[in-house]
Structure 1
């Protein structure tokens, strides 16, 4: 794969992740700091899934981890920022790993004609649910003040968001290209081939 293309895509996903983090911080939060929406969970999961074909997931995980530590809203203490980044990175990595194992080629549309929609959707939902559960549990470990209701909301929020994010991107990518109107053809020649009419 082209290294320059990989780098550009990684930078683009990094910017998307930071923008998603800022957008999530702009939403309402509970007393414990649980946000109503957290688009960064979707951005991180899509990042690791979409970059899988380059075969450099370890570098993507490192890049995602660095951004999760340095992202806005993290603690000024570096160690605390690293701990808080764990519930952001681990679910994204877990989802990408399960996604590749349970639905190989699904992201690129390979084998879609032989794949039934129901089981495929169930596997995507299962991978999103397992990843979201891991994220909610890790968030509870990091922040012991979270109530059980908030942990449950974290699970439902991220599982639903990641599932919808994958389905939306897949539907956009599978949309057939729009056919543009063909350019106007040249007017028919009035002379014989090889001859030029002179007035």
Structure 2
């Protein structure tokens, strides 16, 4: 992939991340600041997974970190913005790393005919769960007012959203690929003489 196309894709994922942050800020929040939905966690994870095959994940992590610091809703000064960006970036990076290790090629549909559904979903859920757990722990460390019940909600919310998003994206890609694939030629019976 050319550098210009990679930069355009990164800008697109950055815009998606900012839009997801604004959408998350529009949902209701608890007294300690936990939002009902936080699509930015999904956008960050999908960003790092989708861009991972191009070998420039370090640049994507830097871009995601900068956007997480500059994202709306991080009022309270520059240091506060840096601290609030940590639980956004670390889970996304951890998910992308585990996803690549535990399910190589799964994002692009490579090897699907050899994968069994149960173990594949278990690995996907485990990667999302570990990443969401890291995010919940980081939120609890940063926000001392956050209760354990709310931290558990953050864990379930983010893990479920990431798993569902990956399954939806793969389903849409598979549907598009099946509709654009050329039809198989009709089977021919008998012997074919080749001169």
TM-score (normalizing by structure 2): 0.90
Match of 2:179 among 154, 177, 180: 177
Using the alignment, how far apart are the partners of 2:181 and 2:112 within structure 1?
Answer: 23
Using the alignment, how far apart are the partners of 1:29 and 1:128 within structure 2?
Answer: 23
2:52 maps to 52
Larger Rg: 1
Using the alignment, how far apart are the partners of 1:99 and 1:5 within structure 2?
Answer: 24
| Residue 5 of structure 1, CA deviation | 1.3
Using the alignment, how far apart are the partners of 2:149 and 2:109 within structure 1?
Answer: 37
Superposition RMSD on alpha carbons, in Å?
Answer: 1.2
Counterparts in 2 of 1:115 and 1:148: CA distance versus 1, 3 Å: same
Comparing both structures, which one devotes a greater share of its residues to helix?
2
Deviations 1:108-136 (A, max 9, x none): 11111111111111100000000000000
Matched position secondary structure for 2:179: coil
2:87 maps to 87
TM-score (normalizing by structure 1): 0.88
| Residue 178 of structure 1, CA deviation | 5.5
How many residue pairs match? The answer is: 180
1:33 maps to 33
Matched position secondary structure for 1:51: helix
